[in-house]
Amino acid sequence: RTCKLAFAPVWELTAGGLRVGPNSSGPKDKSFSRLLPLYSTPEEGYTIANDELAALYVHALFAARDRNLGILEANFVSLPARLLALVHRDGLQIAADLEAGSLHADLAARLDPATCQALEQRLGGPNPERAAQVREAVLANGGEKKGLAKRVWPDLQLVLANGTGAFATYAARLR
């Protein structure tokens, strides 16, 4: 399974009336829905608009739920780096959410109630066993960041993202 890091696109209009937005594939693309069964994040996670941090947390939560995750995928390596920084910083909260089988109150308050309800259904109820594994991975080696990805996802094989040019510093952090 893959954690595909993508967000609901936000389009803006310039003063001259030109649309400005993302140039990469995303959840609104026609073919995206066919790929959803391959992704750890459910469809509702890709509908979160105007709150990228909440959407990133949802990606991290559903990725952490899957011990057998094999790929972290994004257009640019800065997103997997941000995801892993979030897991490092908020891993204990992620574990608590997995243990409870629900989204914590601060996150739930930021989401549309229907989206929140759908995401909680997709969590599939409390998962104390996986929560304990995530908690252990986050706290291992005194909370050391190095090696965190492989501790959370022992079967992780690939970070699929552009890591060249301006993104080389992010790629170096992931190594």
Secondary structure, 3-state, 73-138: EEEECHHHHHHHHHHHHHHHHHHHHHHHCCCCHHHHHHCCHHHHHHHHHHHCCCCHHHHHHHHHHH
Closest alpha carbon to 137 in 127, 147, 151: 151
H or E stretch at 159: strand 158-162
3-state secondary structure of 143: helix
pTM of model > 0.85: yes
Give 25-73 pLDDT, tens digit per residue: 677 777 888 899 999 999 999 999 889 999 999 999 999 999 999 999 9
